[in-house]
Amino acid sequence: MADPFKLADRIHLLQPSGIRKFFELGQSMKNPIDLSIGQPDFDVPDLVKDAAVNAIRSGKNRYTVTQGIEPLRKALKERYAKRFKGVEEEDVIVTAGVGGALLLSFFALLNPGDEVLIPDPYFVMYRHLASLVGARAVTFDTYPDFRVTAARIAPFITSKTRAIVINSPSNPTGATLSEQDAREIAALAEKHGLVIISDEIYEEFIYEGRHVSCREFTGNCIVLSGASKSMGMPGWRMGWMLGPREFIERCYIVQQFTFVCAPSMAQHGVLAGLNADFTRHLSDYRRKREIVCAGLSKKYAMQKPGGAFYAFPRLPDGVKADEFIKACIARELLVVPGGACSTRDTHVRISYAAPDEKLVKAVSILNELA
């Protein structure tokens, strides 16, 4: 008899997230030093909480329109219009986190057999979403400096290439896009008729210079961002996407039949905090970056991250990643093996979104293990 629960072929292309595995492990430990998961260690601002609670108490608990409440879309339009040309309110959709925006964009853009180019190292979701829609994720190498450049992308463009994923600042490396590289990637996308999917969720976490987006230099670019990191609310699932109106309108339809709409009360909360001052948090995270990078500099080769809140040090020569991770776990220190977000397994990802005292302890343990 045939198995009634025989899974669809696409499901076998997906593997559990290596990052979430360590996060779940941390939940079972009494006092772990958890540097595995990518979420801020500060809480949601009070004005955002109050706005969300007021929305709940005033009955704003029903569906919103699929594209998000009008005041929030208007505020996002005004925010992006300061940076980019020709932005209208209809060019914005509010999504269930950046993960939701990624799903919408992949479903709306990619056909089975299409190729999407992603940098290596990469955020784990990119490869698996490509598999889910029947497309093929093609990685291009960015080691050892993790720069995403047109020269590194160009050799992998084929007749099947449909899109290029850019993540700046990067998860897992913290690398940021320079203006020159953004211009050249934009020109490359226009030359070949490709779409740039620009994941900018860490745009507030820039430690030197300014945040640069490919959307500044081409209309062939979809911008994805959200409030999960800057407002300390990863569990609220609040993201948004900016793109050409015709494309965004098709994403409305995909969202209607998947997430329906982003959480209603969370939309009102984010609206209240959209222009809040982020300066203090940026100063705190610049200090945390120094604790990790300066503390590990004698034992680990590392590119100093220009943004986000991740460091991606190379393991010392001769050290095997699986043995290293086991040794970390034995000390109740959780970091992510590089192989969870790369075709190589030569590095580890450290999230320094943690209290300073835990970072100091982690640095001491990592240096001992090296």
Q: At what angle do helices 46-57 and 264-273 cross, to 10 degrees?
A: 140
Other residues' Cβ atoms within 10 Å of the Cβ of residue 187: 15
pLDDT at residue 328, as a whole number: 92
Q: Which residues contact 341 (CB under 8 A, 6 or more apart)?
A: 18, 19, 121, 122, 123, 124, 171, 172, 349
pLDDT at residue 31, as a whole number: 82
DSSP state of 155: G
Tokens 């030359």, residue located? 191
Cβ atoms of 140 and 122 closer than 8 Å: no
pLDDT at residue 5, as a whole number: 64
Hey, what are 167's tokens? Answer: 């993540």
Residue among 201, 193, 200 nearest 218 (CA): 193
pLDDT at residue 322, as a whole number: 87
CATH class, domain 47-273, is: alpha beta
Residue among 237, 248, 235, 196 nearest 217 (CA): 196
Using CA atoms in the order 267, 272, 275, 280, what is the torsion angle rounded to 10 degrees? -110
Cβ atoms of 248 and 241 closer than 8 Å: yes
pTM score of the predicted model: 0.92
Per domain, the residue ranges of the chain are: 9-44+278-369, 47-273
Angle at 54 between CA 49 and CA 56, to 5 degrees: 100
Q: Please report, in angstroms and rounded to a whole number, the separation of the first and last CA atoms in the chain.
A: 55
Hey, what are 20's tokens? Answer: 């979430």
Hey, what are 45's tokens? Answer: 């601002």
Cβ atoms of 198 and 223 closer than 8 Å: yes
Domain 9-44+278-369 has CATH 3.40.640.10: no
Please indicate whether the domains covering 9-44+278-369 and 47-273 agree at the CATH topology level: no
pLDDT at residue 30, as a whole number: 72
Per-residue pLDDT 10s for the chain (370 aa) are: 666 766 666 666 666 655 555 555 555 667 889 999 889 999 999 999 999 999 999 999 999 999 999 999 999 999 999 999 889 999 999 999 999 999 999 999 999 999 999 999 999 999 999 999 999 999 999 999 999 999 999 999 999 999 999 999 999 999 999 999 999 999 999 999 999 999 999 999 999 999 999 999 999 999 999 999 999 999 999 999 999 999 999 999 999 999 999 999 999 999 999 988 999 999 999 999 999 999 999 999 999 999 999 999 999 988 888 899 989 999 999 999 999 999 999 999 999 999 999 999 999 999 999 8
Tokens 């211009």, residue located? 183
